[in-house]
Amino acid sequence: MGLFRKGENWFIDYRVQGRRIREKIGASRKLAESVLSKRRLQVAEKKYLDIRHASRETFGDFAPKYMEWASGRLRRPDHEAGYIRTLSLKFENVRLCDFDLAKVEKFMSMRLKEAKQHPFRGKSAGSLSAEELRRRIQAWTADDPPTVSKSQVNREVSCLRRILNKAADWKLLPAKPLAGLKLYDEREFIRKRYLKPEEIRNVLAVCSSPAREVVIFALYTGRRFGEIMGMRWPEVDLENGYVYYPRTKKKEPDQVGLPPRARQVLAALYSDRTGEHVFRRRDGTRLKDVRSAFRLALRKNGISDFHFHDLRHTAVSYMIMNGLDLKTIAEMVGHTTAEMVDKRYGHLSPDHKRVAVELYGSAMDRLSGFAPSSTKRAGNGPEVDTFWTLEEKRGVEPNPASVESAGKIRENTALRPRSSAVEQPPCKR
């Protein structure tokens, strides 16, 4: 083992398991001495992992081995292959041992500035000549196209981290180089779009069969598009009102109950079944996609910025607004935890929030002496002090659910008419 200088750079020379290894360190002799001491310690403690072997393995060489391992283990290996194609454009010739946090974080920041994939790549590009394709791409890039989103960058970098972690598991790297990597925060991009009641009715009115049945089932169950379109009759129990989903996003089977309307939809389809799949075309073939028909129904009603997956948001939002607990909702729609439901779908309609705000404002008026208080009798129970409700302001019989939501009346019984209320003097300041 030793040091030697060649030109302006210092090299270290040592042997591991009978093999001679030389490493280029740089112009600093002190740094070369430090690295040599570290190598000697690693060899003496038998902790030296063959770094030179890992250095010869590039990302482009290792990625096919990883995909061969992942093909039968990942739910969507085609998505993983797409991320690897993107990563290969930047890291194909980079050695596995050269990856570190600084390199990957720089890639993340640069990737955010890149334009999204041009719209003429793939199926639409096949019918265009090379000259026409080039002209359209130039015209698209000249118009300041949108850049890659944070969520897309997170997916690509997560794929890179999985690849490097697997290389570390296979002893090609001494440690997992991206263990401390922090991804971009995507909470600001969580979609909160859902249909209002009148929009639901209008969409169903113009949506044609068989897309209409799929939309109704999605609204009543909140399940994902792939789970709905993959349903088969052997997995449906109409008698007891259950559906069994063998493959879900949470990587475990799921069995959930069906609301009455969803059971009626399936019962009508069961009477005319022609194969094992539940949703089929009019000619009897399997129905694989209804999103084109769904978009047409949206356009007829002037609804924009709405996707089929937003029907899931719609279903979960109304489940929450109608008082279902988060754990039950998570089980119904196929989420892993109740916290995930609260985080992604715990948004309420503006009208629903307005009711809560006015209820609280009326209560605070009463407590502050700006408005008279009122008493209501719950069933045959004692008179209790309650909030003012919106129904009372409009001269309508108050809704027991509104009063109960205010935390004053817990019994689920009807209230007596407004005329039976006993007025109390304003509270003293």
* pLDDT tens by residue, 123-134: 455 566 777 777
* Intrachain domains 59-187 and 197-344 with the same fold: no
CATH of 197-344, one of 3.40.50.970, 3.40.50.360, 1.10.443.10, 1.10.260.40: 1.10.443.10
Residue 365 or residue 392, greater confidence: 365
User: In the prediction, which pLDDT does 392 show?
Assistant: 46
Q: Give the pLDDT confidence score for residue 76 in this predicted structure.
A: 81
Q: Is 411 helix (H, G, I), strand (E, B) or coil?
A: coil
Ordered by start, the domain boundaries in the chain are 2-48, 59-187, 197-344, 350-420
Tokens for 216, please give them: 């109704």
* Its pTM surpasses 0.85: no
In whole angstroms, what is the distance from residue 287 CA to residue 79 CA?
Answer: 23
The predicted model gives 278-302 an average pLDDT of 89
Between CA 217 and CA 220, with CA 218 as vertex, the angle to 5 degrees is: 65
- With a CB cutoff of 8 Å and minimum separation 6, the contacts of 241 are 257, 258, 263
CB 14 within 8 A of CB 43: yes
Distance between CA atoms of 404 and 409, rounded to whole angstroms?
Answer: 5
Torsional sign, CA 326, 327, 332, 337: positive
Confidence at residue 47, expressed as pLDDT on a 0 to 100 scale? 61
Which amino acid would we find at residue 76? R
pLDDT value of position 185: 84
- Residues 6 or more apart in contact with residue 261 via CB below 8 angstroms: 216, 220
247-251, 370-374, 393-397, 412-416: least confident range:
412-416
Taking the chain, what is the end-to-end CA distance rounded to the nearest angstrom? 89
Look at 393 and 353; give whichever has higher pLDDT: 353
pLDDT, residue 345, reads 65
CATH 1.10.150 for domain 59-187 = yes
Residue appearing with tokens 């979960």: 316
Which segment of 3-7, 77-81, 117-121 scores lowest on mean pLDDT? 117-121
The H-assigned helical ranges of 193-286 are: 197-206, 211-221, 225-229, 260-271
- What are the tens digits of pLDDT across the range 179-225? 889 998 876 666 778 899 999 999 999 998 889 999 999 999 999 99
Q: List, for residues 331-342, the tens digit of each pLDDT value.
A: 899 888 888 877
